[in-house]
């Protein structure tokens, strides 16, 4: 048994079948037996009968909530680019930490490193 119950959903054909069976009930107690057997409430019948009068049960069930829109084709590319940027940024930050540690280590040992602005001499 799941910890949270899901809301029951009834198809239009099922609703029409139950309404037909409910309309066929003539003897006392038949309608109550039908509702108990199907696990329904009398309020279901009232709502479904109103929907049948409006014609809502004729076609496919209308979806609730906002209309679905087509997915944006550029969204996937944006996500990939954002992921690549985050990865490159993390690598750059790691590299800066390593360079700072190397500078501090060379200062402790008394080594002097050439400044980054000046070009280094090449041997011929």
Q: What is the pLDDT of residues 48-63, one digit of tens each?
A: 999 999 988 887 666 7
Q: Which is higher by pLDDT, 72 or 116?
A: 72
Would you state the pLDDT for residue 98?
Answer: 94
Kindly report, residue by residue over 3-49, the tens digit of the pLDDT: 788 888 899 899 999 999 999 999 999 999 999 999 999 999 999 99
Closest CA to 12 of 57, 46, 53, 47: 57
In the block, residue with structure tokens 């039908």? 34
Taking the CB of residue 36, how many other CB atoms lie within 10 A of it? 9
What DSSP line would sit under the chain, residue for residue?
Answer: --SSPPPP---HHHHHHHHHHHHH--STTHHHHHHHHHT--HHHHHHHHHHHHHTTTSSSPPPPSSPP-PPPHHHHHHHHHHHHHHHHHHHHHHHHHHHHHHHHHHHHHT-----SSSPPP---
**Are 51 and 15 spatial neighbours (Cβ–Cβ below 8 Å)?**
yes
Kindly report, residue by residue over 63-90, the tens digit of the pLDDT: 778 888 888 889 989 999 999 999 999 9
Residue 121: which pLDDT band, with cuts at 50, 70 and 90? low
Would you state the pLDDT for residue 119?
Answer: 59
Reported pTM: 0.47
Closest CA to 21 of 5, 37, 43: 37
């Amino acid at each position: 048994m799941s910890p949270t119950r899901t809301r029951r959903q009834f198809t239009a054909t099922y609703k029409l079948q139950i309404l037909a069976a409910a309309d066929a009930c003539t003897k006392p107690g038949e309608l109550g037996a039908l509702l108990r057997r199907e696990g329904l409430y009398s309020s279901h019948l009232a709502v479904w009968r109103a929907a049948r009068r409006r014609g809502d049960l004729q076609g496919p069930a209308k979806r609730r909530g906002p209309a679905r829109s087509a997915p944006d084709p550029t969204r996937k590319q944006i996500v990939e680019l954002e992921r690549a940027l985050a990865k490159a940024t993390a690598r750059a930050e790691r590299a800066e930490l390593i360079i700072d540690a190397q500078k501090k280590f060379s200062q402790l040992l008394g080594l002097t490193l050439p400044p980054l602005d000046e070009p280094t001499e090449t041997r011929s």
